[in-house]
Amino acid sequence: MKTVDIVERIEGEAKLNLIWKDKKVSDASIDFLNFRGFEYILENKPILDALVYTPRICGICGQAHLLATVNAIENLYKNSGNELQITNKAKILRELGLIIEIIDSHIKWFYMFIMPDVIEISKKQYEGYTPLKGEKWLGAQKGASEIIKALAIYAGQWPHTSYMLPGGVVSDPTLLDIVTCENYIDQTIKYFEKDIAGISIEKYLSLNSFEELTSLSSSLRDFVDISFETKLEQVGKAHNRHLVLSDMIGVKSGFFNKKISINLDLSKIKESEEYTFKLEKRNDKKAHTWSKSVQYNKQFYEVGPLSRAVINEREFITALHNKYADSTFTRVMSRVDEIAHLLIYSKKLIKQIDISEDSYIKPKVDLKSLENISATSTVEACRGSLVHTVSVNKGLITKYDVITPTVWNLGPRNNDELGVSQKAIIGSKSLNEAKIILRSFDICSVCTTH
């Protein structure tokens, strides 16, 4: 038997195809059907135009795409022997923007996408998470809006900000701006303590064993209770291989394949279009999605908050991962856990800002003077590792390639191995269970079909 379901309440939409055998999912595929064509649009455009285009790939992670483009352009300068000087102040303001975007996304994802679905499979009533009218659902909108105000202070707007440029940022915050920004972060910490974890953030960050799940209260405790009632700690397991491509937002890069390694080699990243629709060729029968697939060293790897926690050996999530592996429960817990770590890390960054430093140092070399040169950048976005690769000749883009976190996590299989989310969904006992597993990866259709 085959079922087809449209997955909504994501950025864009996706089609989930499930094959059933003996009342379990025996095969699965995810179709992303809205082609957007950013990589084609960028061809022959002036390279600086990419700073305006790429943040519009996604309405959720525009900061990540902007930073990836800025870093890629600065790497063009570096690869040509003309490395730019970027002040510490500019680096911090860029990273803060990325962090704020991630925190905002994680809060919305937990309350708008995960909790409304998991309360549907519980036998108990959790009316506070009912969309549009539940107290906790509505509270999350306010909680998320508080943190995004911190970004608006120095980035001017959200989403689709353009305050980052090669050479720095075009924002010059005052001391009052910095204090106001820190105040919004403090308000979000209070929201985390009261509404999300139900304990102080210091107490939360001291948790280091699965037995301490009982220390949690409020929304996170509700999720834990529902998870063990509905066995979410037993489902959604994929390859249990993890990848982090960039050293930023307080984490180090590396990969986990039975053990942690920090010896990354970006040349081992390979994309495939085996199951992807072709724009300029006739599609064969295997093509079913606009998403490409991507592997590291010929194997599929998961990216995102769980991968960042595992590779950086964060005690609480590592304890859950050791007991429940890469289950749906562990994956959701790691994303919420990351909110606490990022809030504290952002306060540390703010204290390092020296407002007397320059925000921007104009490059001395014109990009139009660079011939046939390429560069790659990696960024940790809310959903995981993001890769931009650009080739430029005399200031014009000859090729722009984007590998998004959703391509890593939800791209199609290849001949030898199931994709990450496919592997996680197979074995599901109901459509609701399969959709919750899918949502645990935080799907982004528009990013995937760039």
CATH number for the domain that contains residue 248: 1.10.645.10
Binding-site residue positions: 39, 58, 61, 402, 444, 447, 450
**pLDDT, tens digit, for every residue of 204-252?**
999 999 999 999 999 999 999 999 999 999 999 999 999 999 999 999 9
Residue 183 to residue 70: CA distance in whole angstroms: 28
User: Tokens representing 339?
Assistant: 């909110």
Binding-site residue positions for Mg(2+): 39, 402, 450
Residue 348 to residue 152: CA distance in whole angstroms: 19
Give, rounded to a whole angstrom, the gap between the first and last alpha carbons of the chain.
32
**pLDDT, tens digit, for every residue of 116-149?**
999 999 999 999 999 999 999 999 999 999 999 9
How high is the pLDDT of residue 135? Answer: 96
* Number of domains forming the structure of the chain: 1
One DSSP character per residue, 353-377 reads: --TTS-SB---SS-GGG--SEEEEE
Binding-site residue positions for Fe cation: 61, 447
How high is the pLDDT of residue 449? Answer: 64
- pTM to 2 decimals? 0.95
5-29: average pLDDT:
82
Binding-site residue positions for Ni(2+): 58, 61, 444
Q: Look-up: residue for tokens 């305006």?
A: 52
What is the span of the domain harbouring residue 158? Answer: 2-447
Within 156-283, residue ranges assigned H as helices are 175-191, 201-205, 218-230
Residue 220 to residue 201: CA distance in whole angstroms: 13
Instruction: Report CA-CA distances (Å) from 40 to 36, 360, 406, 415, 439.
Output: 9, 30, 19, 27, 29
At what angle are helices 175-191 and 328-351 packed, to 10 degrees?
150
277-288: average pLDDT:
81
User: Tokens representing 354?
Assistant: 């020296």
